[in-house]
Amino acid sequence: MIDLHCHILPGIDDGPETLNEAIQMCHLSYQDGIRVIVATPHLLNGVYQISPETILNRVQELNTALSSTSQSPIRILPGADVHFSKDLPKALEEGRILTVGQSGKFLFLEFPFQGIPYRAEEVLFQLLGKGITPIITHPERSLEILKNPKRYYEMVRMGCLGQVTAMSLTGEFGSGVKGVAEKLLKHRLIHFIASDGHSIHRRPPILSSALRRAEKMVGREEAYRMVTEYPQAILEGKKPDVPDPLPI
């Protein structure tokens, strides 16, 4: 399996504090069946001052550390959990944003939990026009999407993709979030399941439990595509062949 969204890099955001903790997270992921992790520290969130260069260096350091142990032959790739801003297109041009796997094609995009900014669709349209497909992270945890899922549906119709957090499907964020996650899955508005892992205990980097839940909504084959075929396409710089969204 491929975990497209994980805060695995040590000492860089609210993920693991030490290299040893990051390695332990990788061991846990490997035991769960994950073989590739995309490191996605917070970027442009106004809290952590992180540059793409820092992310690339930390990814290399973690891969080097992992290569010294045969316990978990897992591969770490660079990415970022980019927080929404109307200046995103400019930040891209200035090289302040890291795309998924440095493909230059896909961008993880996190909206504020409280709501989606007014005219956010204009920014999405600009990104799509530049050949960048936004992957909207954990839409099920957005208060606005909870109240108005149709707005998110229209974003997917525009060409955006969506990623659900594993623990949303297993109920750790509460029944409300779980219900929205299931609804979005049933309406083919989710294309990836990722851990959004932060630590061994607080938010572990595992996918198997959520995968079993997703099977009940979309079937076994489609659920597995969300952690294998679809993320692999992203890493190859190709847009996955996903089902058409259903009106919500």
**CATH code of the domain covering residue 62:** 3.20.20.140
> Which pair of tokens denotes residue 177?
């979030």
User: Is 243 a member of any domain?
Assistant: no
> Which pair of tokens denotes residue 80?
């970022």
User: Is 179 a member of any domain?
Assistant: yes
Q: Look at phi and psi of residue 245 and say left if phi exceeds 0, alpha if psi is from -120 to 50, else beta.
A: beta
pLDDT at 71 over 80: no
**pLDDT for 72:** 72
User: Is 111 a member of any domain?
Assistant: yes
Is residue 122 very low, low, confident or very high in pLDDT (cuts 50, 70, 90)? very high
Q: What are phi and psi of 143, to 5 degrees?
A: -60, -35
Q: CA–CA separation, 81 vs 7, rounded Å? A: 9
**pLDDT for 19:** 93
Mean pLDDT of 162-190: 96
Q: What are phi and psi of 190, to 5 degrees?
A: -120, 135
Mean pLDDT of 2-17: 92
Q: CA–CA separation, 40 vs 102, rounded Å? A: 12
Q: What are phi and psi of 38, to 5 degrees?
A: -95, 120
**pLDDT for 75:** 95
Q: Sign of torsion, CA 116 231 47 142?
A: positive
- DSSP SS3 for 82: strand
Q: What is the mean pLDDT of the chain?
A: 93
User: What is the number of other CB atoms lying within 10 angstroms of the CB of residue 123?
Assistant: 18
pTM of structure: 0.94
Check residue 110 and report its DSSP letter: E
User: Is 246 a member of any domain?
Assistant: no
Q: CA–CA separation, 126 vs 59, rounded Å? A: 29
Q: Domain limits at 121?
A: 2-235
Q: Which residue has the higher pLDDT, 72 or 142?
A: 142
User: Is 168 a member of any domain?
Assistant: yes
pLDDT at 114 over 60: yes
User: Is 248 a member of any domain?
Assistant: no
Is residue 70 very low, low, confident or very high in pLDDT (cuts 50, 70, 90)? low
pLDDT at 189 over 70: yes
**Domain count within the chain:** 1
pLDDT at 46 over 60: no
Q: CA–CA separation, 118 vs 239, rounded Å? A: 27
Q: Are 177 and 148 in contact (CB under 8 A)?
A: no
User: Is 247 a member of any domain?
Assistant: no
